[in-house]
Amino acid sequence: MGIEEDFYATLKLKTGEEIFAKVAASEEDDRTFLLVTNPIIVNEIKSRQGIVGYKLEPWLKTTTEDMFVLNIEDVLTMSESSDIEMIMMYQSYVRKLNKSQGNSCKLDRKMGYISNVNDAKEILEKLFKNS
C-alpha cells in the first residue's frame, strides 16, 4: 500500500514509554509499521512558584538516527495531535537539533589553551601544591 501522509502524534508504547513524534504509517505484507521521526519524551517541570514548563529530550539518547520503525503491535495507543503549542515546541527542538549536528567546528588555539596530558598534569600538580 505504501506510506501514508505524515502527522504529529503522541504514542504510548506497551513498554510504558510515552513519546511525541512526526509519524507516518506504512503497510507491508499485511503488517502495519509506524515511521517515527525525531521522537521525543516530554517532561513537565514545576517550580516552587507553581510555574510549569516542559523539558524535551530525545527518546533514544545514544544514537544519532532521526527515524525509527515501530511495529504497530508495540503501540498501546496513539493520539494524533492538533495542539499547536506542542507542535511548535517539537519543531523548535528539531530545528535546534539539526543546527547543532551540522555545526561541528574545528579546534584552534583561539578557543583556549591546548596542552598535552603530561603538561596539564604538571601544571595541575603545581597548582595543588601551592594551594
Q: Output the pTM of the full model.
A: 0.69
Position of cell 543546527? 99
Residue 48: what pLDDT? 84
33 in Cβ contact with 11 (< 8 Å): no
CA–CA separation, 98 and 49 (whole Å): 34
DSSP symbols for 110-126: GGS----HHHHHHHHHH
Task: Please name which of 13, 20, 14, 12 lies closest in space to residue 56, comparing C-alpha atoms.
Answer: 20
Q: What is the pLDDT of residues 12-57, one digit of tens each?
A: 999 999 999 999 998 888 888 999 999 999 988 888 887 788 889 9
Domains of the chain (ranges plus CATH)? Answer: 2-106 (2.30.30.100)
CA distances from residue 16 to 20, 38, 44, 45 in whole angstroms, order as listed: 13, 19, 17, 20
Query: In sequence order, what are the beta bridge partners of 22?
Result: 8, 37
Q: What is the pLDDT of residues 101-130, one digit of tens each?
A: 665 566 566 656 666 778 778 878 888 888
CA–CA separation, 37 and 95 (whole Å): 13
CA distances from residue 9 to 21, 74, 110, 123 in whole angstroms, order as listed: 6, 15, 45, 54
